[in-house]
Each structure stands twice: as C-alpha cells, then as structure tokens.
Amino acid sequence: MSSKVETIERFILDSQPDYARGEFTNLLYDIALAAKIISHKTNRAGLTDILGEVGAVNVQGENQQKLDVYADDVIFRMCDHTGRLCAMASEEKEEMIAIPEQFKKGSYILVYDPLDGSSNIDVNVSIGTVFGIYRCRDWEHRGRLEDILQAPRRLVGAGYVLYGASTILVYSTGNGVHGFTLNPELGEFLLSHEYMRFPEPPTYYSVNHAYFERWAPETQEFLRWLQGRRGDDAPKLSSRYIGSLVADFHRNLLRGGIFCYPGELDKPNGKIRLLYEAGPLAFLAEQAGGYASTGTGSILDVEPTELHQRTPFFVGNRSLVYKAESFIQAGKQGG
C-alpha cells in the first residue's frame, strides 16, 4: 500500500512522458471523472430508481440493467466532445461509436465495458468498468473500424474501476500498474497501490465449476490439477468466484491467483469479450508480472476481427497460466 497522499491527476501528470501533449493525459482525467460519477450512482443504487432492468436487450443478448445504460451514457458523454478520441466501442453498442461531426477528432480510441458483472447489480455484489486505449493507425483517416480492431499488444493504456466496498481505479500506461482509491468526502482518487504485481505464491483460482461437463477433457484435467487432484506439483489454492470478472481479477492481482473462463465444446470461444474485457486485463496482467492466454497463446497477440468477439480467457500468475497452456496444448496434440 502506498503511504504518500497523491491524487490520480497529480500522478498522471508526474508520470506522463516529456513528449506527451496532454491529449492522452486529459483522456485519463476524463475516465477518472466518469468513474466518480458512476461510483456516486452505484453506491446509491438501492436508494434511487436505477435498479432493475430497462426492458431492453443489448448486443450480447443480455437484459440491460438501468445502471448499465447509465454507465454507458456517462462514459460516452464524458468523452464524445473532448477532441481526444477519434472513435469508441462499447459492450453496450452493436456498432462502433463515431465522434459526432460537430466535434474535433483526436488521435485515441477508447474501448470499454461500462459495467461488467451487471447481473450482480441487484444483489449488491461488486461490479466494474473495464477500458482500453489505442492510438489511431492513420491520422489522416482516423476513426475507422480498423483503428478499433487492434491486437491488445498495441494498447497504450488500460484499466478498470471496481465499485465495491470502496471504489478503486487501477490503470497502466505501460509503466507498471497503479491503484487509486476514491475518497468520497474529497471526491478524489488517491494513490493507494503503487506498482501492483501478482504476488507469489498464488492463493486463489476462479472458475465456474457448474460448466465442468461442457469443457474439453484437457481443460477438465487442468482444473483437476488446480484442485490438487493431479500430479504432485499443484499449488495449494482456494477457490473464489464472484461472477464479476473485475472483482475476481482485482482480488487475484492482490493475493495471487488465476481466473479461468475456458472455451466450451459447443462454445469454443467461451464468454469473455476480447476487445474490452480480456485485452485490457491482459495488458494490465503483463504489466503486473502476470500473463493472459487463450489457452494456446497470448491474449495480447489475438488480432480482433469483430467488435464483440469472445475468447477463452486464463489470466493471473504467469506460472499458473503457463500450466493451463501446457495442459490444453497437450490435449490438442492428443498428448
């Protein structure tokens, strides 16, 4: 835990490279402000009329929760007119989001899941926002779909906001992972976790065991290993699965562990979305000394072809994710 009292704005300013022109820095400020606004609403979800469903279904075929729609709208309105972005993509929107004609286009792309884990909103379990930032590929033609469909290795920044017992914003711009906890009285995110890294040895594994029969044999074998039922080199882990990816990821980052959402026999790409969930978290994981895999290779190297494409997802301590790859690749080679 950090001891110095430093706001996120101060930290961003102090850590920006000399050549930075402020556009990227200001984009991070915008995201922090959106997080404060969403946090304010989330913490009062039980008291104001924003619980429950809007009666609409989003592009994922999921019932949209009112807080989902609210969070999506806040992020869009915080970022559409600032001149920092040339396009956006949201989990809640089927198509890419162009910057309205009347506003100047910047050179950055924002991809985001405005409120991940929304099925937990009405039962008061932690939920989160995930975001990733790319630079446009071609300034003259910025704002096209190819600016959004970039491999996560090309991210220039990524982070998440966890709305839980407290609200914490965790981000990286490629120089370590840093966490800021919101002080509601001050309305400031204060540095609370500097240079976060997956600790060794790991403590937890996270997976939905209810799907065990849906997994390929090699995946089942890996889960048996995680449980200490195979071989004598398994770590002594405890199981924790919240059903909110951001909350599971954050806990595993602090305590060490692996989050698994494997592909299934009839859904080989699983559930987790590449662009605005797995990619940004993979960027953070590597910055924190961990690793993220599809089961056969780094998430960072997956070239997206569609906005909402899904991917099998194993993320956390490097040693555990490598082990997942070894079981899965052996199984695929008939080992």
208 near ligand P6P, rule: CB under 6 A: yes
Write each residue from 104 to 133 as x if it is in contact with ligand P6P (CB under 6 A), else as -, in one continuous string. Answer: ------------xx-x--------------
Stretch that binds ligand P6P, among 29-37, 155-163, 169-177, 237-245 (CB under 6 A): 237-245
Q: Could you tell me if 255 and 199 are in contact, meaning their C-beta atoms sit under 8 angstroms apart?
A: yes
The nearer residue to ligand P6P, 35 or 87, going by C-beta atoms, is 35
The owner of tokens 């071989």 is 231
Which DSSP letter does residue 158 get? E
Name the residue among 114, 111, 141, 146 with its Cα closest to residue 128: 114
Least Cβ distance, residue 326 to ligand P6P (angstroms):
24
Instruction: Single out the segment in contact with ligand P6P by CB under 6 A; choices: 19-27, 30-38, 147-155, 240-248.
Output: 240-248
Query: Cα torsion for 270, 171, 67, 64, to the nearest 10°?
Result: -20
| Bridging pattern class, strands 85-90 and 313-316 | unpaired
Please count the residues of this chain forming the interface with ligand P6P, following the rule CB under 6 A.
8
For residue 265, the minimal CB distance to ligand P6P (Å) is 15
CB-based burial label for 27 (10 Å; 0-12, 13-18, 19+): buried
* Distance from C-alpha of 176 to C-alpha of 287, rounded to nearest angstrom: 5
Residue 243 touching ligand P6P (CB under 6 A): yes
24 or 314: CB nearest ligand P6P: 314
CA 298 – CA 37 distance, rounded (Å): 34
Helix (H, G, I), strand (E, B) or coil at 28: helix
Q: Which is nearer to ligand P6P, 68 or 218 (CB)?
A: 68
Binding mask 162-201 for ligand P6P (x = CB under 6 A): ----------------------------------------
Nearest alpha-carbon partner for 67 in 120, 115, 34: 115
Q: What is the DSSP letter of 118?
A: G
Binding to ligand P6P by residue 271, rule CB under 6 A? Answer: yes
User: Which residues in this chain contact ligand P6P in the complex, by CB under 6 A?
Assistant: 116-117, 119, 208, 243-245, 271
